[in-house]
Amino acid sequence: MTTVFGKILRGEIPCAKVYEDDEVLAFDDVSPMAPVHVLIIPKKNLAGLNDTDASHEALLGHILATARKVAKLKGITKSGYRVVMNTGADGGQSVFHMHLHVLGGRSLGWPPG
């Protein structure tokens, strides 16, 4: 894992941890696009959603369940939040370690981009 997220997982780069368990790490984004902007990364080395298969279904579900936990920890479950996973360059993925964004704390417009 040579990405910035791999370095965060190894403790080489510090992060503002929001949640962690055996499968995922969630931390505040250093360049937030909303008042609440948390990234959830799997500890397993996966470049993106296209690198998953049926054997990853439990992990993918766990990542989504973690998004709900993060929203609760950040106090945005009642007001609402957005969950985004960019995949590939045209999808806006800039770090090629699969990750989920949890955004909230303000009204989020549509379409997003």
With the CA atoms of 105, 107, 109 and 110 taken in that order, what torsion angle do they form, in degrees rounded to the nearest 10?
A: 90
Does the annotation count 37 as an active-site position?
Answer: no
Closest CA to 41 of 104, 100, 88, 83: 100
Helix (H, G, I), strand (E, B) or coil at 95: coil
One-letter identity of residue 86: N
Distance CA 36, CA 44 (A): 25
Catalytic residue (choose from 37, 97, 99, 101): 99
Residues carrying an active site annotation: 99
